[in-house]
Amino acid sequence: MVPFTKRGSSYLRALFTFGFFFLFLLFQNAVIYTFLRTSVDSTRGGLCACDKCVTDLNDTDWFFMRFNPTVPVMLNRRNGVLRSDVYRWWTVRKSNPDLWKSRVGKTDAGPDRCRTCAVVGNSGNLLGSHYGPLIDLHDFVIRINKGPTEGYEKDVGSKTTHRILYPESAVDVDNSTHLILLPFKIKDMRWLIKKQAFRLFTAIILMSVNVLIVLVMIIHPGFIKYCILSTGVLICLSLTQVKVFAFGAKSDGTWHHYFDTSLTHFSRGSHGGDFENKTMNELLMLNKVSIHKGW
């Protein structure tokens, strides 16, 4: 028999600690799943004050297993220090980790809030839809990338409270519109902070975007890492009560914007159209969003 020495005791403690840590990693998803379902089921109001919230978790396992409310959506002062794995994933090259701290903001989301939101896509199906007045009735109207309103008010509305973009799709916004930045890489944060013209990507990006810096909101890199979707689907998951306007392809499978004539087949292009369409349909079937496809 091997004597139970002090050295052996230290070895066993180390082995036990490692084993416990391994089991924790193995079962943490199941524990979080059970805890969050119990917590949400026990609250009357859910995660927002609306009758039906996008982020309610007590409806179906399909949605719950795809949406983790512990992952922050918006970057703010409380979560501005990134986890090491998020930072490594996000960083293109060695950079200053304090880069984004001066640009993180505050969020007023919470269980006492109920906000209606229209997420307006850029699909050509908007043309002739006459959705404009309905879109403008919402508390928030979020537009994606370059989608214009001037000249299209009857179909797309005139109100814009938030515009989500990344540097390659940047356009000027007025001083009442929040810019929601999707920082897919750390250079995108440099673009926001420095706001000057230099070569960042495969094309020259002009840093002349007109926006008050206090109106800038930033999607948390940890959320992008956790859930890389199209911009439309990603934003839908971060809101409370949502109506989606004109996402997806036409009935013949072609995909184009209401403000241009270029065509892309549904299953090709940068959108990953088939996946986006299936995800939107799942959210519709679960009554997470209502969808207005257009014409």
What does the pLDDT look like over 267-289, one tens digit per residue? 555 455 566 677 778 878 887 78
Alpha helices (H) in 210-272, listed in sequence order: 221-226, 231-236
What DSSP state is assigned to residue 68? -
The superfamily (CATH) of domain 46-292 is Glycosyl transferase family 29 (3.90.1480.20)
Q: Retrieve residue 269's tokens.
A: 């292009």
The pTM of this model reads 0.60
Between 254 and 36, residue with greater pLDDT: 254
Strands 204-205 and 216-218 turn out to be: unpaired
DSSP state of 259: T
Spatial distance between the Cα atoms of 27 and 32, rounded to a whole number of angstroms: 9
Q: What's the rounded Cα separation, in Å, for the pair 295 and 127? A: 7
Using DSSP's 3-state secondary structure scheme, residue 119 falls into strand
Q: What distances in angstroms separate CA 54 from CA 84, 152, 238, 283, one per listed residue? A: 30, 29, 8, 9
The residue that leads in pLDDT, 176 or 66, is 176
Cα gap 244→277, rounded to integer Å: 12
Other CB atoms within a 10 A radius of the CB of residue 3 amount to: 6
pLDDT value for 256: 79
Average pLDDT over residues 187-193: 71
Q: Any residues with CB less than 8 A from the CB of 113 and at least 6 apart, and which? A: 48, 49, 240
Tell me how far apart the alpha carbons of residues 142 and 119 are, in angstroms, rounded to a whole number: 5
Residues facing 178 on adjacent strands: 162
Separation in Å, CA 194 to CA 104, 112, 149, 255, 274: 15, 37, 28, 35, 37
Give the pLDDT confidence of 151-163 residue by residue, as tens digits: 999 999 999 988 8
Smallest CA-to-CA distance from 294 within 129, 58, 50, 170 is with 129
User: Are 186 and 99 within 8 A, CB to CB?
Assistant: yes
Per-residue pLDDT, 170: 61
- End-to-end CA, the chain: 81
Q: What is the pLDDT of residue 81?
A: 78
Cα gap 191→179, rounded to integer Å: 13
pLDDT, one tens digit per residue, over 222-237 is 777 766 554 444 455 4
- Name the burial class of residue 12, with classes exposed (0-12), middle (13-18) and buried (19+) by CB atoms within 10 angstroms of its CB: exposed
* Residue of 137, 108, 109 whose CA lies nearest to 245: 137
